[in-house]
Amino acid sequence: MNKRFFFTLLAILAMTSTTMMAQEHKHHQEQGPKPANASNEHMHRSSVGDLASRFESPERDAYQKPEKVLEYLGKLKGKTIMDIGAGSGYFSVKLAKQGANVIAADVNDEFQQYIKKRIEKEAIQNIQLRKIPYDDPSLAEGEVDMVLIVNTYHHINDRSAYFAKVRKGTNKEGELVVIDFFKTDVPVGPSTDHKVSIDEVVAELKAAGYTSFDVEVSLLPYQYILRAK
C-alpha cells in the first residue's frame, strides 16, 4: 500500500466517523431527554392527544371526584399553587377557577402547549406555565403556598432529593399534597409494580425533611391523599 493511498484512506475514515458522531448527536437532540423512569416510558407509548383525552374523560371524573378533592383542600382563593405533572391541565384549570394562582408545571413540551391553547381558549388569566426538568421542581425558595402532585409521584426518581427541593420552594405555612393510586390491583392507574405505597411515600418525605402528615384513604375509591408539611 503506497503512502498517498494510506493517508487518503485515513482521511476518509476520519470524515466518516465525524459525520456519524454529528448525526448521532443530532438524533439525541431531536429525541430530547429520556423519561425519568419506567412509568414515564410506559405512559408515553400513547400520544399526548390520546393521553389528554383519557385525562379529561368522564371516566376519570367518576373516580377522581375533583369537586370532593377541591372541597377537601379547603380555601384556595388567593393561594399560589404549583401543579406538578399538570398534563392536560385537569387540576390546574379547576384550581384556577377556585381563585388560586396556578403554576402548571410539566416536563413535556406538548402538554405545555396543550394547556397554553386551553387557557387561551377559556380566557383563564391565573395560570402560568412552567417547563421543568425531571429532577427539579424549579421553585424559588418559599415561592408557593401549596404543591399538588396527582398521579405523578410514582413517575419521579430519587424522590427524597426531589421533594426536599419542593419543601424549600413551599413557604413555612404551606404544604405538599400527594394524590396517587393505592398500591394494589385496582381498575385504573398503572400496574401495581409502578405504584408507591403510603408507607413508602411517608418514609421518602420524612427523608426530604417533612415532619407532619395527614392521610385520607376514604374520600376516593382508588387513590389516597397525603398532606405533608
**179-228 residue pLDDT tens:** 999 999 999 999 999 999 999 999 999 999 999 999 999 999 999 999 99
> What are phi and psi for residue 215, nearest 5 degrees?
-115, 130
The structural domains of the chain, with segments of one domain joined by +, span: 1-32, 38-228
Confidence of residue 35 (pLDDT cuts 50, 70, 90): low
> Helix, strand or coil for residue 218?
coil
> Helix, strand or coil for residue 191?
coil
CA distance 224 to 17: 53
**Cα Rg of the chain (Å, integer):** 22
Q: What is the pTM of this model?
A: 0.80
Confidence of residue 45 (pLDDT cuts 50, 70, 90): low
Cα–Cα separations (whole angstroms), residue 226 to 41, 195, 210, 215, 218:
25, 15, 12, 4, 12
pLDDT value for 7 = 43
pLDDT value for 56 = 94
Confidence of residue 37 (pLDDT cuts 50, 70, 90): low
Which residues lie closer than 8 Å to 136 by C-beta, 6 or more apart? 162, 165
Query: Residue with C-alpha cell 376514604?
Result: 218
Percentage of the chain surpassing pLDDT 90?
A: 76
Report the top-level CATH class of 38-228: alpha beta
Q: Is 96 exposed, middle or buried (0-12, 13-18, 19+ CB in 10 A)?
A: buried
How many other C-beta atoms can be found within 10 angstroms of the C-beta atom of residue 21? Answer: 10
115-131 confidence digits (pLDDT tens):
999 999 999 999 999 99
